[in-house]
């Protein structure tokens, strides 16, 4: 039985789907972003020196009336704050402003991307009313997301998955979710309370076509949750294609400098009201000063992403000419602006798993011993190109292979270097890779 919020939302979701592309054309996105920043930017009275966690209470029973929804306002930052509201409205304008009915959506910000994902999954479970169930997920996803979904200590919690059973009952995204796998789960009478995936999988850069996933999920009445961190709303707007909930780690492209941490969720108000309760109870709120800083940086998101994508294409082209490796980067992402896989490229060392993992370890050592124009680091969306040899940094390759990640995979998060500097990055990477073959 579908959750009450999803039943209500499903009746009007079709009105919001935008025919055509799953992204904004031309300057539409930038214009919408600039307009929202101008409209929702915090009042000058809420300046950096005057951001208070606990505003003055000016009326009796103010907390009670705000909590019950009978009065607008704020009483404690964990339950809401003008600065959060301003940032959330800008995020909603970016993510849902291109739908036919943006008024049906709202956004919330969190302390991190994982805080946002955890809150969404917990809320899905609570609102489903099921004692047990399954969240279908992508074959390859961010490791902490899959760890959360597969936590054995919580295997009886309905928001955990994939389905505990035979291998052939698992249903994955990355072009592998099929009617057959969903049907197998339905016949087993295990409630499916959601489907979560990444359009560009981290770290394999596998591409999943969102409209196809949405079409399948809607036939079976399954909420679709998209972790769109690798693409940003500038390159892809899943809500336009009929997805239900979109999540981002704001730490990456929305920060742009690797010095802020945050997450955000956009979805129908029917779900977001329940999600806000989860955030308030769990306390997974963003810092107020960080929220102000995010607002200041969002206007430059399109320009930053354009540079990341341009540099990723240059790096991918360079990798294609190196023997002994296989490049992972798509230029045929049909529902993504420009058709590219975004600003991250991966490659895989060829050879057996043991040989490929050894080359990954050699590359990690090379990067340590020969510091240059790239940094060996996690994350993405920063000014400088970041390289992460997975087996070389994660203690071997066996767990990688178990998680459908090639033993010799190396992720390259393109930076925003000037084109001349990008050529230096390509030259450095070529020398580093060849030294490990």
List per-block mean pLDDT (blocks of 10 residues) for the chain, which spans 437 residues.
Answer: 89 89 88 90 53 83 86 84 92 96 97 96 85 76 84 39 28 48 70 88 90 88 95 96 97 97 98 95 93 94 97 96 93 83 96 97 97 95 97 91 92 95 96 97
Residue 161 has a pLDDT of 31
Residue 178 has a pLDDT of 62
Q: What is the pTM of this model?
A: 0.91
Residue 138 has a pLDDT of 79
Strand ordering across the sheet containing 105-110: 105-110, 263-268, 245-249, 224-227, 192-197, 134-137
Whether cis (ω within 30° of 0) applies to the bond prior to 203 is: yes
How far is the C-alpha of 198 from the C-alpha of 164, rounded, in Å?
21
Three-state secondary structure call for residue 120: helix
Residue 42 has a pLDDT of 62
Look at the block and give the residue holding tokens 């590219």: 340
Per CATH, domain 302-434 is 2.60.120.1360: no
Residue 167 has a pLDDT of 30
How far is the C-alpha of 342 from the C-alpha of 233, rounded, in Å?
11
Long-range CB contacts (< 8 A, 24+ apart) of 180-185? 182/136, 182/216, 182/220, 182/222, 185/134, 185/136
Q: What is the topology classification, in CATH, of domain 4-298? A: 3.40.640
* Structural domain spans, the chain: 4-298, 302-434
Closest by CA to 265, choosing from 117, 90, 104, is 117
Exposure of 303 in the CB half-sphere (CA atoms within 13 A):
9
């Amino acid at each position: 039985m579908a959750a009450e919020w999803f039943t209500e939302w499903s009746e009007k979701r079709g009105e919001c789907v935008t025919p055509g592309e799953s992204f904004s054309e031309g300057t539409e996105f930038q214009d919408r972003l600039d307009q929202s920043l101008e409209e929702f930017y915090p009042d000058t009275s809420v300046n950096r020196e005057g951001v208070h966690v606990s505003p003055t209470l000016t009326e009796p029973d103010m907390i009670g009336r705000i909590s019950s929804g009978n009065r607008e306002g704020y009483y404690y930052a964990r339950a809401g704050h003008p600065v959060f509201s301003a940032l959330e409205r800008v995020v909603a304008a970016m993510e849902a402003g291109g739908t036919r009915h943006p008024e049906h959506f709202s956004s919330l910000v969190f302390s991190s991307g994982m805080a946002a994902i955890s809150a969404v999954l917990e809320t899905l479970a609570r609102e489903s009313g099921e004692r047990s169930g399954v969240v279908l997920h992508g074959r390859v996803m961010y490791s902490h997301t899959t760890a959360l979904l597969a936590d054995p200590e919580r295997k009886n919690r309905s928001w955990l998955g994939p389905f505990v059973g035979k291998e052939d009952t698992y249903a994955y995204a990355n072009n592998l979710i099929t009617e057959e796998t969903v049907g197998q789960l339905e016949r087993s009478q295990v409630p499916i309370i959601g489907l979560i995936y990444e359009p560009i999988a981290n770290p394999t850069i596998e591409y999943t076509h969102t409209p196809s996933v949405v079409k399948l999920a809607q036939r079976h009445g399954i909420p679709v949750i998209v972790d769109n961190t690798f693409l940003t709303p500038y390159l892809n707007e899943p809500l336009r294609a009929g997805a239900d909930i979109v999540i981002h780690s704001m730490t990456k492209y929305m920060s742009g400098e690797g010095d802020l941490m945050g997450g955000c969720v956009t979805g129908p108000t029917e779900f977001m009201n329940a999600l806000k309760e989860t955030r308030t109870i769990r306390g997974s709120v963003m810092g107020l000063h960080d929220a102000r800083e995010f607002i200041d940086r969002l206007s430059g998101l399109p320009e930053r992403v354009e540079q990341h994508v341009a540099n990723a294409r240059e790096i991918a082209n360079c990798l294609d000419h190196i023997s002994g490796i296989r490049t992972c980067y798509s230029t045929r992402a049909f529902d993504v602006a420009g058709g590219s896989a975004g600003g991250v490229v991966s490659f895989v060392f060829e050879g057996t798993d043991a040989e490929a993992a050894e080359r990954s370890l050699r590359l990690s050592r090379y990067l340590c011993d020969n510091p240059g124009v790239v940094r060996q680091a996690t994350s993405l969306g920063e000014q400088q190109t970041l390289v992460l040899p997975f087996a070389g940094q994660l203690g071997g390759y066996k767990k990688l292979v178990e998680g459908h990640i090639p033993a010799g995979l190396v992720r390259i998060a393109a930076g925003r270097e000037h084109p001349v500097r990008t050529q230096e990055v390509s030259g450095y990477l070529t020398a580093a890779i060849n030294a490990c073959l």
